[in-house]
């Protein structure tokens, strides 16, 4: 699903920042952002743009040039990143609804395209991009996780479910499947043709994933995070590349395996899964506390270096609840 980067929101709260006279902190769902004092009041409607928004170069957004001008390929724009101002984390941007030029808006409405906003994405190296064989198979869901800040309405229900907490690895998504005798390899959005130098295929061959999936004798997909040299700057300082899995999908049934069934399958196939930190975790009272819990050292940190983990992915055993909690420390350290 395309990410909704800009939408109509109601400001939930506005509070002072200790020691700051000219700015204050607004709460929008599970997000906190710094605003000019008096700019918005609780209950006001506004446009909220999430981090990773790439806003077009237009007069409306020129005020962002100094802080946010960036190129994405050949396209110029303004990129919204996580900031810290006077000790306060600030994520995203509020804009007045007037900017929609009288367009009649509704709460929750997606105005991303209307404002010409696209998602800021770093370029993908050729060894990962590969050569397209086809679109992403329609019989497998793409990998994705929603951010907890956008699920504040559901948070209290989530709290009644014991959850698996896994570490979110900072790499590149891969899907391997076996279906009716055929083996396939897919990146985030495409199925890839077999080649000698494509990293996704290399790792498949090295770990004998085609053989292992075929031996199961059923139609199945496994999804994981590729990490290592040439991927996301190799934060874990690995040699070569490998994969840590986080999903198994039963293609015939059209459903994911539960977390316990997935972990058992990984053991049976002798494949690595993402690190599991907790198996019966109960969420803390607030999203703020959960965001603090997401900060920490990556379990794959190299021996002499503490690497901040990207965050956590939290799921109920049946997987009906599943979301990511990105570490703000990680985001503040991003290029
Ligand atoms: P966004 O939607 O926030 O713009 P994105 O869709 O590119 O970003 P990520 O922020 O990387 O994705 O979050 C989802 C991805 O996290 C999954 O597609 C998967 O590749 C990856 N991932 C890494 N570790 C895990 C894990 N432990 N559990 C589930 N997914 C994981
Ligand atoms: Mn996503
Ligand atoms: Mn990622």
Q: Is the CB of 168 under 6 A from ligand 1?
A: yes
Atom 7 of ligand 1, nearest CA residue:
144
Residue-wise pLDDT tens digits, 29-45? 999 999 999 999 999 99
Token pair in block for residue 126? 């050729």
* pLDDT reported for residue 102: 87
| Distance, CA of 15 to CA of 37 (rounded, Å) | 9
Which atom, in ligand 1's list, is nearest to the CA of 173?
20
Confidence class for position 186, pLDDT limits 50, 70, 90? very high
Residue 32's CB is within 10 A of a number of other CB atoms, namely 20
Confidence class for position 28, pLDDT limits 50, 70, 90? very high
Q: How does the average pLDDT of the chain come out, rounded?
A: 97
| Distance, CA of 23 to CA of 20 (rounded, Å) | 6
248 neighbors 306 (Cβ within 8 angstroms): no
What is the ipTM score, two decimals? 0.98
13 neighbors 52 (Cβ within 8 angstroms): no
pTM of the model: 0.96
* pLDDT reported for residue 2: 82
User: Given its phi and psi angles, is residue 180 left (phi above 0), alpha (psi -120 to 50 degrees) or beta?
Assistant: left
* pLDDT reported for residue 298: 98
Best residue among 112, 145, 330 to mutate for probing ligand 1's pocket (most ligand atoms within 8 Å of CB) is 145
Nearest ligand (C-alpha, residue 143):
1
Residue-wise pLDDT tens digits, 119-129? 999 888 988 99
Residue 196's CB is within 10 A of a number of other CB atoms, namely 7
Token pair in block for residue 285? 């009272």
* pLDDT reported for residue 238: 97
| Distance, CA of 333 to CA of 328 (rounded, Å) | 9
Residue-wise pLDDT tens digits, 205-236? 999 999 999 999 999 999 999 999 999 999 99
Residue-wise pLDDT tens digits, 251-293? 999 999 999 999 999 999 999 999 999 999 999 999 999 999 9
- Helices assigned H by DSSP within the chain: 65-68, 126-129, 155-158, 199-206, 209-216, 259-269, 287-294, 328-332
Identify which of 228, 233, 230, 256 has the alpha carbon closest to the alpha carbon of residue 243.
228
**Enclosing H/E stretch for 33:** strand 31-36
Domains belonging to the chain, first-starting first, are 6-119 (no CATH), 126-332 (3.30.470.30)
Kindly give, in sequence order, each residue whose CB lies less than 8 Å from that of residue 295, ignoring residues fewer than 6 positions away: 308, 309, 327, 328, 329, 330
Best residue among 324, 325, 327 to mutate for probing ligand 1's pocket (most ligand atoms within 8 Å of CB) is 324
Q: What does the pLDDT average to over 183-187? A: 98
Which atom, in ligand 1's list, is nearest to the CA of 275?
27
Atom 25 of ligand 1, nearest CA residue:
168
């Amino acid at each position: 699903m395309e990410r909704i980067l800009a939408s109509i929101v109601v400001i939930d709260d506005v509070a002072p920042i200790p020691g700051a006279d000219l700015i204050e902190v607004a709460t929008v769902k599970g997000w906190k952002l710094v605003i000019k004092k008096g700019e918005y009041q609780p209950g006001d409607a506004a446009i909220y743009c999430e981090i990773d928004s790439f806003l077009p170069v237009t007069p409306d957004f020129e005020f962002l040039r100094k802080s946010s001008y960036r190129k994405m390929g050949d396209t110029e724009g303004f990129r919204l990143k996580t900031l810290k101002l006077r000790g306060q984390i600030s994520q995203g941007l509020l804009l007045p609804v007037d900017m929609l030029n009288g367009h009649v808006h509704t709460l929750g409405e997606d105005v991303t395209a209307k404002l010409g906003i696209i998602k800021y994405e770093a370029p993908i190296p050729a060894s990962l991009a590969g050569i397209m064989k086809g679109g992403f198979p329609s019989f497998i869901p793409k990998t994705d996780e929603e951010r907890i800040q956008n699920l504040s309405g559901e948070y209290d229900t989530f709290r009644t479910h014991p959850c698996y907490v896994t570490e979110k690895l900072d790499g590149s998504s891969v899907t391997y499947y076996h279906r009716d005798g055929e083996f396939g390899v897919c990146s985030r959005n495409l199925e890839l043709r077999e080649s000698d130098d494509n990293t996704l295929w290399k790792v498949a061959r090295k770990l004998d994933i085609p053989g292992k999936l075929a031996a199961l004798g059923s139609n199945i997909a496994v999804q994981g995070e590729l990490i290592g040299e040439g991927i996301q700057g190799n934060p874990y300082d690995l040699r070569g590349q490998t994969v840590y899995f986080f999903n198994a999908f039963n293609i015939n049934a059209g459903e994911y395996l539960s977390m316990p069934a997935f972990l058992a399958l990984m053991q049976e196939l002798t494949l690595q899964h993402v690190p599991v930190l907790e198996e019966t975790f109960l969420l803390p009272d607030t999203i703020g506390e959960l965001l603090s819990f997401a900060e920490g050292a990556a379990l794959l940190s190299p021996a002499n270096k503490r690497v901040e983990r990207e965050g956590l992915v939290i799921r109920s055993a049946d997987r009906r609840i599943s979301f990511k909690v990105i570490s703000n420390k990680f985001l503040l350290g991003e290029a």
